[in-house]
Structure 1
Amino acid sequence: MATLFLIIIYLSFISLGLPDSLIGVAWPVMQPDIGASFESAGLLSMVVAGGTIVSSLASGKIIERLGTGLVTLFSCLMTAGALFGFSFAPSLAWLILLAIPLGLGAGAVDSGLNHYVAFHYKAHHMSWLHCFWGVGATAGPIIMSFYIASNGWRNGYTAVAFVQFGLVILLFVTLPLWKKVAALHQSSGPQTNGTDSTVGGEGQINAPDHSSIKPLKIRGVKITLIAFLFYCGVEMTVGLWGASFLVGIKELSAETAATWVSMYYGGITVGRLITGFITLKVSNQTLIRMGQITALCGAVLLLLPLHSIFALFGLVLIGLGLAPIFPCLLHETPVRFGKEHSSRIMGYQMAVAYTGTTFLPPLFGLLASQWTIALFPVVVFLFIVAMFMGSEKVNRMIQHQ
């Protein structure tokens, strides 16, 4: 039963990943069709992420009242309905309106499942959880690129919405399982968190005692939030504007650009699948550092004036590099800052992460509309550098406390 429950949690994260990459890959053909300005994709992204911030901050109280199972079911239903509405939207105004439930549907379940897995399961489960987000984020562009080449972007949104509705049916059928497994966890207690940078040889967490300190006053928390800000900023910037860069600068077709962006998300997915096994032997801290260095190498490939095929390699490298960073940072939360504050700090981290998703990609869109989309690799490189510097500073602070 516990294994089946984990599979359901993993499938729930597919529903989070499916919509995240659709606007970016479809935008080169959506924009002229609905008569929107180039930078309007950033506005849509901002509205989606804004709704996600609101629902993630309220997730604690909502889950306490309804339970994680019902929240996950309703959230998936909201995103499915919003995506189906996208396929009929006649204008940008309608897309903006539909982006609100799309964002609200993602936030509560994201925060709730992340905290649940970080608290109850070992590190490899967190990596595999986000691997399934990557499955959804990879499948989205593949589905959309197929329909762009044949029946149009609207049918692409319809197809993805039907996939979401299928997940809704599965979640509804398995809803009683959530209460049964919750009772099982209460009787057996939470699992230890596995191999981490501050974990003892037998997997016991040697977390510092912060019980008398307010969460935001704990050493390293604010700098960690900066790392989350720029991580989500670079992940969404690449996903949202990568296709426009490939079409506008590398002169690829919209279908090819969509396929290449799907390979970027594929890099994240495969990387997280592999990371799940590596966490059994390698610390989260080491994996975070290795991932950031790999992502920097990918950004350099985008920066250099090379053949367009190197842009594909650069995108895949960035995806592989980003793969371990987010789940490993999340899983480190109770280890670094104490289990008694982990739920609140997790909420702060998700809110700041979505703030990066909300503001950084639209800001780049505004910059690109005023200057040129050719600035895309420069901005991606700078975001990764800022994330790397923040993460390394936290590592030094934790080591010296």
Structure 2
Amino acid sequence: MIQFVSGLNDGNLGIILPSIKAHYGLNQYVVSIIFLCNAAGYMTAAVLNGYLIRSTSQSKTALLGACSMIVGYLVNLFAVPFPVMCIFMTTIGFGIALTQAAANVVCGEMPYGMLMLSFLHAFYAGGALVGPLLASGLLSSQKPWNTSYMVFATTVAASTTTPSDQESMTCKEQANSKNTNLLSQIFKFRITSIGAVFLLFYTGTEVTIGNWGYTYLISTRSTDTNAMAHLMTGYWAGICAGRLFLGFATSRFGEKRMVYCYLAMIVVMMVLLWLLPYIGANATSLVITGIMLGPIFPTVVSVAHNIVPTHLYATCVGFLSAFASAGTALFPYATGVLIGAEGVSAMLPFCIATSCAMLIMWFFVPDPRPPTKFSAKMRTWKTQILTSIRS
């Protein structure tokens, strides 16, 4: 349920952003600080997650994250001054990162971990699908922009229970480990460094489209705000569908091969969305983009589960999840600054560039499967590229 609220949070913010800007009388540069403050919370969680698990437990760390979210939502419910709002956006980001990291660890250890992770992230996409509908519905009813935070706080509080005494085997092994330098150990595995940057770009691209896509559509396509909000709902519905239905195909045909296909399709759809000024074509491009984006995050977490030793898995996935969450703030912030300087039409070229960067980075992500002729050839090319770079 908290994963669903995390999606609600991200899907809602893009719709209420123009209202926040008008309420506080801010320009494009200043209102984008919200994303930067969220990023500060995510990065703090990335560093502290492993320590918190080792000092307390996975369940108590998740409970701390949920409480942090509730506090942030309750404060922002009262439309506090903008600097105070930014401070508690950091609290919300910290809480979301901790709870998402815990959820990824638990689901990744289950049987059929790839499918379980896909279902988990489908709940996030489901929340992000409902978020624009909730926000646009409240605004259409003449409700203030901050009303949605009451819904978030209530939902998180209702889904938060007393921490269970049962911990996953990974978390027990990590908590009992005498070596306290777990964070440095996970960086011995390439999936940690490359995977973290890859997921930073992934979540940044995903949420940039989700948060700024609405602003782009009402500025360049149509002033019908309800219709454009429904187009963004189609995008999040695509992500939900991709996570529900493409997880099996990704497991069946291989993570490396399938993610190459997904990323190539994303680039093509973004180019079409940019060049074709037709609502029907734009709606189709957004839905297909969402479907292709859907399975990528759980796929990377599944790859990490197959590569990293069991006693380091909680720290590794916690770091990957929290670091990736920072992308949901940093990239929308950078996009906001870019829009302020160049106009809203600059959003899609930026997303196309980040998608191309992901396609290049995926080349260097380790393949957990035994080498095939295709993967052996790719590894040979990768070795040659790395050798040429070093020389």
The answer for the alignment partner of 2:128 in structure 1 is 137
Distance in 2 separating the partners of 1:186 and 1:376: 44
Which one of 300, 313, 317 corresponds to residue 346 of structure 1? 317
Which one of 58, 67, 86 corresponds to residue 48 of structure 2? 58
Distance in 1 separating the partners of 2:219 and 2:262: 28
Contact 2:12 2:134 (C-alpha < 8 Å) held by counterparts: no
Aligned-pair CA distance for 1:341: 4.1
- The reply to whether residue 25 of structure 1 matches residue 15 of structure 2 is yes
Aligned-pair CA distance for 1:217: 4.0
Change (3 A) 1:227 1:250: same
Change (3 A) 1:336 1:234: same
Change (3 A) 1:179 1:238: same
Q: Deviations over 1:162-211 (max 9, x none)?
A: xx423423332xx36x324x3xx659x99xxxxxxxxxxxxxxxxxxxxx
Aligned-pair CA distance for 1:303: 1.6
User: Which range moved further: 237-246 or 289-298?
Assistant: 289-298
Aligned-pair CA distance for 1:58: 0.9
Contact 2:216 2:345 (C-alpha < 8 Å) held by counterparts: yes
User: Which range moved further: 36-45 or 324-333?
Assistant: 36-45
The answer for the alignment partner of 2:79 in structure 1 is 89
Contact 2:15 2:211 (C-alpha < 8 Å) held by counterparts: yes
Aligned-pair CA distance for 1:292: 1.3
Q: Report the AA paired with residue 93 of structure 1.
A: P
Count of aligned residue pairs for this structure pair: 361
What SS does structure 1 have at the residue aligned with 2:28? coil
Q: Deviations over 1:219-238 (max 9, x none)?
A: 56533333222112201211
Q: Report the AA paired with residue 116 of structure 2.
A: H
The answer for the alignment partner of 1:76 in structure 2 is 66
Contact 2:2 2:159 (C-alpha < 8 Å) held by counterparts: no
The answer for the alignment partner of 2:118 in structure 1 is 127
Q: Report the AA paired with residue 375 of structure 1.
A: A
Distance in 1 separating the partners of 2:333 and 2:218: 18
The answer for the alignment partner of 2:265 in structure 1 is 294
- The reply to whether residue 359 of structure 1 matches residue 330 of structure 2 is yes
- The reply to whether residue 44 of structure 1 matches residue 34 of structure 2 is yes
The answer for the alignment partner of 2:301 in structure 1 is 330
TM-score when scaled to structure 2?
A: 0.82
Change (3 A) 1:25 1:237: same
Distance in 1 separating the partners of 2:56 and 2:228: 41
Q: Report the AA paired with residue 270 of structure 1.
A: A
User: Which range moved further: 219-228 or 48-57?
Assistant: 219-228
TM-score when scaled to structure 1?
A: 0.81
Unaligned runs of 5+ in 2: 174-183, 368-374, 384-391
Contact 2:11 2:130 (C-alpha < 8 Å) held by counterparts: no
Distance in 1 separating the partners of 2:154 and 2:56: 21
Aligned-pair CA distance for 1:40: 3.2
Contact 1:134 1:266 (C-alpha < 8 Å) held by counterparts: yes
User: Which range moved further: 321-330 or 288-297?
Assistant: 288-297
**Backbone CA RMSD of aligned residues:** 2.9
Distance in 2 separating the partners of 1:353 and 1:221: 11
Change (3 A) 1:104 1:253: same
Q: Percent identity?
A: 21
Aligned-pair CA distance for 1:338: 4.3
